[in-house]
Chain A
């Protein structure tokens, strides 16, 4: 007969309540890990969605996400002519605010040239942009529907299609418009003084600038050779897709990543302490029974088994509940929560380890129990 199970069944309500409390805690740990993963993933979506190999930006910058970058509008043609480049496109990125149905929305505007790299990678409803002006494809998270009309700057755009999961590193939903529209929008939203300069044609100012040019490289050529070639123009800098991703994860989201990473670590430590305390009190409550078992001749193995099995049962049930709970509510979070099986497994392993280690505390206590305790009143 399994004493661990029989004891738990006898105090089932209390045990389940403890498991439930633990599952809430582990659920929080798991969601924190998911938020952390979501943050990194969000930061990379817009960099990955055009599926390109090379980013060409203003010289001396690591744009267009980490720093602002401005290059002449004709750069794309020059890049497209480089050896190994099979497609190139100009892109603009810009944060804007707009009013929709009485609520302020922050949006991340992506300007691209239809037919070239840089547009939405997958439109889940509606269509892509078909006209050169005043159409937009918006991410679902923006809360727009196909056919909605949304004011941006001085113009009103019609939503023609929706994407899913396209967000900027800050979590703002992305919308896609044509490059021409985005250039106009950047001009309208620039500070008045700068705008006057540009309108006068002074200070080298022109509206025909873009933030970056992205290029796809033929499988037979290396992205590095293209970046080298692009860098020969003194006003340009270039980096490969891999370098761009590193810039984003290391500089743009680094603080947030560390913040959440540290918090997750603290939560793990807190959980470990709480699990240890629970297991210790669970053993304390059983001292008399343990003494009785020793008195009737139960070996240490039986007593250690009793404590360890209960610890593992509590850890596993608590983790299972917690994982279910988070899976059920993760889509209600305002930002992406990414639950990866390997993270779940790692946490499960950590919980198991903590359970085993902290039941050691209980076991130590149990082994010290004097069998004579069972005789006292």
Chain B
């Protein structure tokens, strides 16, 4: 299924290592990991618990500073021994959508505003932000819950709102940590199809951590991590 991609990769990391702590307590979470993900690709990150999957996503998402190696996003080197962008948050806002393992909605905003807030930050006016947020929620089949507060949503509903938020600003890179863990297999399939559609339509690169064997067939490529090392 992997398509032979002629373009340059959207996510390109080379020899990235990341360790936590020093000496006795040192944990090597990533060891010399190199990955390329091209526009339109949906790739899976697979591996046992503690193998470094979340760490890898955090490094790509510019949340964690690597210990060595370099990171290039959308043809821009953002890390090479140090961060080369002073405003990593702006970079995230513009280029990266996150779907967290735990949905992380803002508890004081209802569903639609949780999505709209990203659009507001990106400079949309209030009305336009609401309209687009509403469309996204409809698209993810949670439109009927748009006025509900996060605490009142089921796990699956909350996850779909979080996905809508990740997609809101049409990011080119979407990082998802177990996006379907809280969903039944039918909904998990729907979400994966949706992510595939987004990848195709927006020429986005999607990296998703998953344990869910039912959806393996929906990925273009699968990276296996073990003890912080990539297995091929």
Give the B-binding residues of A (Cβ under 8 A). 1, 3, 6-7, 9-11, 288-289, 292-299, 302, 370-372, 374-375, 377
Contact = CB atoms under 8 A, between A and B. Distances in A.
Contact of B117 (A10, A294, A296): A296
Contact of A1 (B98, B116, B122): B116
A372 B64 contact: yes
B interface, how many residues as a size bin?
A: 20 to 34
B119 to A, nearest CB: 10
B107 interface: yes
Interface string B114-145: 00111011100010000000000000000000
Interface of B: 54, 58, 63-64, 89-94, 98, 100-102, 104-109, 113, 116-118, 120-122, 126, 149, 165, 177
B117 A375 contact: no
A371 B101 CA distance: 14
Given A3-B117, A10-B149, A298 B106 contact: no
19 contacts: A1-B113, A1-B116, A1-B117, A1-B126, A11-B108, A289-B108, A292-B106, A295-B92, A295-B98, A296-B93, A296-B117, A297-B90, A297-B118, A299-B90, A370-B63, A374-B104, A375-B101, A375-B102, A377-B102
Given A3-B106, A7-B108, A289-B108, 15 more contacts: A1-B116, A1-B120, A3-B109, A6-B108, A289-B106, A292-B105, A295-B63, A295-B92, A295-B104, A297-B118, A372-B58, A374-B100, A375-B54, A375-B101, A377-B101
A51 to B, nearest CB: 61
Contacts of A7: 108
Nearest to B96: A297
B121 A297 contact: yes
B50 to A, nearest CB: 14
A297 B173 CA distance: 14
A6 B117 CA distance: 12
B118 A10 contact: no
A296 B58 contact: no
B67 to A, nearest CB: 15
A298 B114 CA distance: 13
Contacts of B92: 295-297
Given A295-B63, A296-B118, A6 B109 contact: yes
Nearest to A302: B121
Contacts of B93: 296-298
Nearest to A6: B108
B199 to A, nearest CB: 20
B100 A375 contact: yes
Contacts of A3: 106, 108-109, 117
A83 B122 CA distance: 84
Contacts of B100: 374-375
Nearest to B122: A297
B34 to A, nearest CB: 23
B112 to A, nearest CB: 10
Nearest to A292: B104
A371 B63 CA distance: 7
A294 B98 CA distance: 12
A298 B122 CA distance: 9
A11 B108 CA distance: 8
9 tightest A-B CB contacts, nearest first: A297-B93, A10-B108, A7-B108, A297-B92, A292-B104, A372-B63, A297-B89, A6-B108, A371-B63
